[in-house]
Chain A
Amino acid sequence: MLGLYINKKSLGKQGVNKLSDEEVISLYLKSRSSSYFTMLYSRYSGKVYSKCISLLKDEQLSDDATQDIFLKIYLNLAKFSGKSKFSTWVYSITYNYCIDYIRRKKKERNIFSEDIENVGEPLEDVNDSELLEIEVSRLKKVLNIIPVGDRAVLLMKYQDDMSIRDIAGVLEKSESAIKMKIKRAKHKAKSSYKDLYKD
């Protein structure tokens, strides 16, 4: 486990918290000072943990996953190219980790393929605003009852602003397959919402 403790003295008071992620990474790679990495950790650990919780549904597991994910980030930070935003990179690692875990442990190998291959009947388009404006506590319940694959793509798209290309990269699928997957996930979320709150 990484010893990630905030060393406020070494961070200084010169508004380092206002630095962008990319600037912090650059400073870290130059100085190798752990305080810069600690800064990234404090910015993203909560978000990474909450994503792990929403996908893995287990606090202890999510705690361990967060530590493992930050260990991966720590070991690969020098490889971060800056082509995408740092947050996107962090979330990609997080989703990859959680999806791998679910595939490995729950043996749900096809959590992202069943709908992609199943073209079936055409679905009605669900407006983004219909999902985005669902009240927060209800949205949480809806996300909890839809399948993990659908939950993951909706979170990637609407919570983390990941592009279709980035999502396709994380899930190793084509962009058109991801578009279809998102469409189906939106449809499932809408019907689950209707089932839960018929009033």
Chain B
Amino acid sequence: MSEDSRNNFKRLSEEDDMKSRDDKQIKGSISFISSMSRVIELYLPGFFQLLISISGGGEEAKKAPGPPNSGISKRDNEQGPSEPPVK
């Protein structure tokens, strides 16, 4: 058995060295994921907006007429549908 193999001070140093490398890798990965999530957060709404525009939605859809009952106000509808219109 060599001198080094019985020297646990050296083993401790190797373990600490490996641990610090692992820590750096983990920190690097976390920082990458965090940057990517920021990029996604920034550009995702724009991307969906683009998809909506491509599929024909968006501003033009707002300008288009709504469904038949959508224009009826509460006031117009106060008498209820059961009363016939006065001639």
Contacts and interface: CB of A to CB of B under 8 A. Distances in A.
Interface of B is mostly: helix
A132 interface: yes
Given A50-B13, A159-B13, A132 B20 contact: no
B9 A54 contact: no
Contacts of B17: 46-47, 50
Interface of A is mostly: helix
Contacts of A47: 13, 16-17
Interface string B28-39: 000000000000
Contacts of A136: 8, 11-12, 15
A46 B9 contact: no
A133 interface: yes
Query: Which of the listed residues A54, A154, A159 has the most CB atoms from chain B within 10 Å of its own CB?
Result: A159
Contact of A129 (B6, B10, B15, B20): B6
21 contacts: A46-B16, A46-B18, A46-B20, A46-B21, A47-B13, A47-B16, A47-B17, A50-B13, A50-B16, A50-B19, A50-B20, A53-B16, A53-B20, A131-B9, A132-B6, A132-B8, A132-B9, A133-B6, A133-B8, A136-B12, A139-B8
10 closest A-B pairs by beta carbon, nearest first, are A50-B16, A46-B17, A158-B9, A159-B9, A46-B20, A49-B20, A132-B7, A159-B13, A136-B8, A136-B11
Interface of B: 6-13, 15-21
Given A46-B16, A47-B16, 20 more contacts: A45-B20, A47-B17, A49-B20, A50-B13, A50-B16, A54-B16, A132-B8, A133-B6, A135-B8, A136-B8, A136-B15, A139-B8, A139-B9, A139-B12, A140-B12, A143-B12, A154-B9, A155-B9, A159-B12, A159-B13
